[in-house]
Amino acid sequence: MTIKDTAEEWEIRASETPFAGKKTSVRAEDVVMPNGAVVRRDYQVHPGSVAVVALDDQDRVLVIRQYRHPVRQRLWEVPAGLLDIQGENPLHAAQRELYEEAHVKAEDWRVLTDVYTTPGGSDEAVRIFLARDLSAADGQRFEVEDEEADMELARVPLDDLVRGVLAGDLHNTCLVVGVLSLLAARSTGGLDTLRPAEAPWPARPFEA
């Protein structure tokens, strides 16, 4: 048996958007179930995101600490951000986020994994990259605002992050999935066998 997610779309009888925000919206749809019943499903419509596990030559991961109002916590996270432009190349977006949030650039980029964050309630898709061969970015630092103006930046050993995830001390989706995927990649073929940075992404198609 092949273990692989597959594309499928059930019949939709009605669709409306009761709320539209600056970046996301809420869609309500009447979906026909296999038994013929019609059920309403509400979900967040999301442009998609990218995240970066930036690994330095001392086996440390670059992380940021940021306040997240919906969960009322300051979370340790990896650099991440929205795909602000439809069809935007996710690699370019990831490079932008690493520069803006950490003022760092990387020479080696690979795809760690692609995930749907909460497929029962949102269509958000995230591509998580591995970035290596890090160095300071050129030019002035990007001017941040709002929650980002209060961010902390650190480089933490990968093993410490893994322990924090398994201990229940770290909760950010992209950090958890990213560091565990990095650990798994090392034990199943090595990092150089990861997909190239420009690998196709059916969830958010883009132009190379």
Residue 85 amino acid letter:
I
The span from the CA of 131 to the CA of 97, in Å, is 12
Q: Which residues contact 48 (CB under 8 A, 6 or more apart)?
A: 82, 83, 90, 124, 125, 126, 127, 203, 204
> Quick one: DSSP state of residue 166?
H
Q: Residues 11, 16, 97, 148: which is the catalytic one?
A: 148
The span from the CA of 177 to the CA of 117, in Å, is 10
Contact 109, 197 (CB under 8 A): yes
Q: Decide if 9 is catalytic.
A: no
Q: Which residues are catalytic?
A: 148
